[in-house]
Structure 1
């Protein structure tokens, strides 16, 4: 019997670590590379080297959020709230970009527009909250988690790491966060009250994440098709990325995100809702992000146009291939609940 069970355990070990490695890499790629604004676009070696910093900074958090959520038997409300908490920690406490209200000519186009949505008394730009914190929730953490779990549906509800693995990831994140903090804190314009406020908000989101419970099917209505979910969410992600950064744009953007959240919550309570629907919502986010890269001018403006579009096409093609693989894996082994 031992000779039979040992080979069975080995693939499971490999599957878990393959999933961890995939999420470690997909998270920073989704967060930073898909949209193609980086100055290193077109220089593959620099992109790979960048992952040595970005994977510990983004990927470790994505893995830990997923690990905590699944090990405690919670679901997507917890993942989204923890993602928001770490979005605030990243943008408000580590690189402090949330409080950087000075426009830098070297920033990408979306960051060089006049800050016309400053919230009086807080020194925080409303458009920046949607861009930085909302961006972390969707593209740094939630979408990569959903896609990688779809690639490994048979172990999607289980923990992938032991105590040592969790400890290693926490250490890697702390070291990368310290490195980024030391590099950016000297130029930060954030005051003590702003930093304390960010810490309080992040703490409140973490506490709330452990109070909420997964939603259960409560409606006799049938869940919509995955194509409809992907189409609706894709439009919403496009609106999120393309609206102007004025009060009208911010208001419409916020309303669109609230309506989308309400719609997904309502759909998730219907009979037949499953991982293929979650993959559709997450996959559309990655496709929109990669598609918009064709409209984005990389930093510095010195990237050859042919190289830029080739990289953009390669990224989009990679996303499509990954989503097709995830959909195929789901058809072969989707569990009954997500």
Structure 2
């Protein structure tokens, strides 16, 4: 009789949970506020479990990047609208001074966090995990029981934000019931569109670029446009200095930021559809976003500059290691294919 083989341990979901936390907070907020590391257990539960649920749900229904983007928006609403209550709070982070506030909601903060969470909390961590575990790219990571557990942890994470961050930084703050209902409705709509509507619709093929620029150029473009988006909406280092505050009105900044983010997304889609798009391009694209994201926080104090510099060195080193790993894997596949061809002769 053959003994039951143990199911091999799947590292991918744990890596995704860690990547999400690192990309979203520990290479951003923690640069200016190193105490953020003390919240690592809560951040792993909220970010890690939340994005793991998003990735699992999209893969199980056969969805693609549009579904990930919509669920990233839903995730942002759950975190900032229901957990932190930062979308409606007039005091949290001092964000009420950053831009346009209307109907009781901070629209500037909302737009900035949609961009940050869709890209840094969802798309970048999922992309990095796919590069590390390409064989699992289109497969679920979790069993049904694991999925239920991840959903429960994500909900606990949102409540944890309400208690341990919103409750301490802005005690007494309560999102109006009308906006709570609106956020819940928007979250439900995003999930329905992402998991029921989009996977069964034929998406129009993006016209591919004739040729993709060198990976270094892709990295520079992503670095520049990420910084342009962030500095249009947010003060450097999340302090009090708005780089473009005297040049544009709050409403104009909302439009300019959107006109930065949307064309950038369309450009990336054209690049990805090109025949010469490669894993090196993906790594440089992600690297530009991450480096710019971290550099944005290196303002306001010597501590932020020092912590940010160390963070940037570690980011670049790890991306270099990933590039080498991807290159060795590609070389191994080519050698294996060549050996198989020789054996068949």
What TM-score results when the alignment is normalised by the length of structure 1? 0.79
**1:212 alignment counterpart:** 198
- Aligned partner of 1:92 in structure 2 is 81
Identify the residue that residue 20 of structure 2 maps to in structure 1: 27
Give 1:40 shift: 5.4
Q: Which sits farther off after the overlay, 61-70 or 215-224?
A: 215-224
1:197 equivalent to 2:143? Answer: no
Preserved CA contact (<8 Å) 2:207 2:270: no
Q: Distance in 1 between matches of 2:45 and 2:160?
A: 11
Task: Label 1:187 to 1:281 Cα distance change in 2 as closer, same or farther (>3 A).
Answer: farther
Gaps of 5+ in 2: 233-243, 334-345
Change (3 A) 1:162 1:112: closer
- Counterpart among 105, 121, 125 of residue 124 in structure 1: 105
**Are the equivalent residues in 2 in contact too, given 1:66–1:145 (CA < 8 A)?**
yes
Q: 1:50-199, aligned counterparts within 5 Å?
A: 50-102=39-91, 107=93, 111=94, 114-119=97-102, 122-183=103-164, 184=166, 187-199=172-184
SS in 1 for 2:139: coil
Q: 1:39 to 1:320 in 2, by over 3 A?
A: closer
Aligned-pair distance for 1:130? Answer: 1.8
Which protein has the larger Cα radius of gyration, Structure 1 or Structure 2?
2
Q: 1:85 to 1:309 in 2, by over 3 A?
A: same
Deviation at 1:324, TM superposition (A): 2.0
Structure 1 runs not aligned, ≥5 long: 298-304
Q: Does the Cα contact within 8 Å between 2:221 and 2:288 map onto a contact in 1?
A: no
Cα deviation, 1:257-308, whole Å, max 9, x if unaligned, reads 11112222333333243544443332221111222232254xxxxxxx4x65
**Structure 1 runs of 4+ with >6 Å offset:** none
Secondary structure of 2:188's match?
helix
Contact 2:101 2:107 in 1 (8 A): yes
**Does the alignment pair 1:269 with 2:282?**
no
Q: Deviations over 1:17-54 (max 9, x none)?
A: 2x22222122122222212457751x6xx72x421100
Which is worse superposed, 160-169 or 275-284?
Answer: 275-284
Q: 2:294 aligns with which of 265, 275, 290?
A: 290
Q: How many Å separate the matches in 2 of 1:132 and 1:196?
A: 20
- Name the Cα RMSD after superposition: 3.0
What does the per-residue CA deviation read over 1:205-231, in whole Å, with 9 as the maximum and x for residues that have no partner? 222212225775764833444333322
Higher relative CO (Cα under 8 Å, sequence separation at least 6) belongs to: 1
Decide whether aligned partners of structure 1 residues 129 and 36 sit closer, same or farther in structure 2, where only a CA change above 3 A counts. Answer: closer
* Distance of aligned partners of 1:191 and 1:317 in 2 relative to their CA distance in 1, 3 Å threshold: same
Is the 1:127–1:250 contact (alpha carbons within 8 Å) kept by the matching residues of 2? yes
- Is residue 328 of structure 1 aligned with residue 328 of structure 2? no
Correspondence for 2:312 among 313, 316, 320 = 316
CA distance in 1, matches of 2:230, 2:176: 29
The structural deviation recorded for 1:241 is 1.5
SS of the residue 1:295 aligns to: coil
Contact 2:100 2:108 in 1 (8 A): yes
Q: Calculate the TM-score normalised by the size of structure 2.
A: 0.78
- Secondary structure of 1:201 counterpart: helix
